[in-house]
Amino acid sequence: MNYKQEALGGSSRLSDEAMLVRIKTILTALTDNDYFPDPVPALDELQEAYEVYEEKLSAAKRRGSPQDTAEKDRARKNLAAIYKQLAFYVNQVSEGNLAMLLSSGFEVTQPPKVSKIPLIVSGGKLKDGRQSGQVRLDFDKNKEALFYEYEVGIWEQGEPEPDWEQIYRTTSSRQNIIAPLEPLQRYAVRIRAVNGKGESDWSELITHIVR
């Protein structure tokens, strides 16, 4: 699937100083930029809003009165609106062309990371639950997993492998209660991690005699 990158027009997470730096970068990048010959809004409008905001910010830092802060906030809101409109223009003109987007001075969305098949789950442990016929399953969290599956079965002495009975699904690597189980029976459990790319190999078997 092709991912279309875009210029980022949001500014709510930028500090006041970072906002000034971001706008200055864009003004410099778009001036005489052949990719974007007729910016909308015009760069003069962005420049004017930038200067007003810079002035109001300086006054708010210097005096810090409620009125100064309110005027600074109003100037920032106006600058942010122009910034957002300009990002829309850049995205329309560039149509996802990365070279054009980067030349604009805007921050650009990053393509999603391609997930991989998860690694094998490790750190599996079984211990008694609070009641007879229960065991608790814990294992190490797998960062690549969307969810986990674990298989449970009785493992009779002398048998080459467990008699797998049921597969359970969970999103948690901690405090998974398995019940009801037969007391005094030895059970085996194995776990695998699953995501959109597939599932890992099964983990090593872990065993426990049910209380």
Query: What's the longest Cα–Cα distance across the chain?
Result: 84
Q: Which whole number is the average pLDDT over 30-39?
A: 95
Task: Read off the amino acid at residue 7.
Answer: A
pLDDT digits (tens, 9 = 90+) for 84-118: 999 999 999 999 898 999 999 999 998 776 678 99
DSSP 110-152: PPPPPP-PPPPP---EEEE-SSTT-EEEE----TT-SEEEEEE
Instruction: Please say if the pLDDT value at position 32 is more than 80.
Output: yes
Averaged pLDDT of the chain: 93
pLDDT digits (tens, 9 = 90+) for 151-177: 999 999 889 999 998 899 999 999 999
* Model confidence pTM above 0.85: no
pLDDT digits (tens, 9 = 90+) for 54-78: 999 999 988 889 999 999 999 999 9
Instruction: Please say if the pLDDT value at position 120 is more than 60.
Output: yes
Distance set, CA 31 to CA 35, 83, 95, 104, 106 (Å): 10, 15, 20, 9, 13
Q: What are phi and psi of 107, to 5 degrees?
A: -65, 145
More confident residue, 157 or 191: 191
Instruction: Please say if the pLDDT value at position 126 is more than 70.
Output: yes
Distance set, CA 30 to CA 24, 114, 122, 192 (Å): 10, 32, 52, 51
pLDDT digits (tens, 9 = 90+) for 134-146: 999 999 999 999 9
Q: Please, what is the Cα angle at 63 between 58 and 67, to 5 degrees?
A: 90
Instruction: Please say if the pLDDT value at position 202 is more than 80.
Output: yes
Q: Please, what is the Cα angle at 37 between 34 and 39, to 5 degrees?
A: 130
* Beta bridge partner(s), residue 169: 149
Per the CB < 8 A criterion, the answer to whether 134 and 182 are in contact is no
Instruction: Please say if the pLDDT value at position 1 is more than 60.
Output: no
**pLDDT at residue 114, as a whole number:** 60
**pLDDT at residue 111, as a whole number:** 76
**pLDDT at residue 64, as a whole number:** 80
**pLDDT at residue 2, as a whole number:** 62
Residue at token pair 């092709």: 2
